[in-house]
Structure 1
Amino acid sequence: MAIDTTGFGPANQQLRIGRISHLASKTPAAYFGMVLGLGGLGNAWRAAEQTWGIGNGFSEWILSLAALVWAVLVLLFAAKALLAPDRLVAEINHPVQCCFVGLIGVATMLIASAAEPYSYAAAFTLFGIGFTFTACFAVWRTGGLWRGERDHATTTAVLYLPTVAGSFVTAMVAASLGYRDWGQLAFGAGIFSWLAIESILLHRLLIGPMTPPALRPTLGVQLAPAPVGAVAYISVSGGTPDVFVHALIGYGILQLVVLLRLSQWLREAGAVMGFWAFSFGATSIATAPLRLLGHGDNAAISVVAPVTFILANVLVLGLAVMTVWLLLSGRMYGKSAP
Structure 2
Amino acid sequence: MLAWCRRMPPNTFSIAFGISGLAAMWKAMDAVVGAVRPVVVVLTVVATVIWVLLLVAYVIKCSQRHALRGDLDDPVLGPFVSVVFIDGLMLGMLWFWLGVAAGRTVVVVCAVGALLLGGWLTGHWISQQLEIDDMHPGYFLPTVAGGLIAATALESVGLHDLALMAFGIGLICWIVLGSVLLQRLFFRPMLPPALVPLLAIELAPPAVAGNAWVALNPETDPVQYGLGAYTLLMALVQLRLIPEYRKAPFGASYWAFAFSYAAAATYAMHWLHLSPFPGGPVTAWVLAVFISGLVLLIAVRTVASVRAGTYFPRREQIADPAR
TM-score over 0.5 (shorter chain): yes
**C-alpha displacement of 1:23:** 1.3
TM-aligned CA distance change 1:300 to 1:247, over 3 Å = farther
The one-letter amino acid paired with 1:29 is P
TM-aligned CA distance change 1:299 to 1:56, over 3 Å = closer
The one-letter amino acid paired with 2:225 is H
Corresponding residue number in structure 2 for 1:328 = 307
- TM-score, with structure 2 as normaliser: 0.90
- Is 1:210 aligned to residue 190 of structure 2? yes
Structure 2 Cα separation of the partners of residues 182 and 56 of structure 1: 28
Report which stretch shifted further, 275-284 or 246-255.
246-255
Structure 1 Cα separation of the partners of residues 4 and 128 of structure 2: 34
TM-aligned CA distance change 1:136 to 1:300, over 3 Å = farther
**C-alpha displacement of 1:136:** 0.9
TM-aligned CA distance change 1:330 to 1:42, over 3 Å = same
2:251·2:312 contact (CA, 8 Å) conserved in 1? no
Structure 1 Cα separation of the partners of residues 39 and 303 of structure 2: 21
**C-alpha displacement of 1:115:** 1.4
Corresponding residue number in structure 2 for 1:8 = none
The one-letter amino acid paired with 1:247 is G
Q: Deviations over 1:198-256 (max 9, x none)?
A: 1111111111122221221221221210101111111111x112232232122222222
Corresponding residue number in structure 2 for 1:265 = 244
Runs (5+) with no aligned partner, structure 2: 319-323
TM-aligned CA distance change 1:324 to 1:216, over 3 Å = same
- Is 1:168 aligned to residue 148 of structure 2? yes
Aligned length: 317
1:224·1:284 contact (CA, 8 Å) conserved in 2? yes
Structure 2 Cα separation of the partners of residues 31 and 302 of structure 1: 34
The one-letter amino acid paired with 1:330 is G
- Is 1:316 aligned to residue 304 of structure 2? no
Corresponding residue number in structure 2 for 1:80 = 61
2:151·2:212 contact (CA, 8 Å) conserved in 1? yes
Find the structure with the greater CA-based Rg.
Answer: 1
**C-alpha displacement of 1:161:** 0.7
Structure 2 Cα separation of the partners of residues 331 and 205 of structure 1: 26
**C-alpha displacement of 1:316:** 1.0
Corresponding residue number in structure 1 for 2:321 = none
Task: Report sequence identity in percent.
Answer: 26
Corresponding residue number in structure 1 for 2:49 = 68
**C-alpha displacement of 1:80:** 0.9
Corresponding residue number in structure 2 for 1:31 = 12
RMSD: 2.3
Runs (5+) with no aligned partner, structure 1: 1-18
1:188 is aligned, of 139, 155, 168, to 168
Q: After superposition, where does 1:140-155 map in structure 2 within 5 Å? A: 140-147=120-127, 149-155=129-135
- TM-score, with structure 1 as normaliser: 0.86
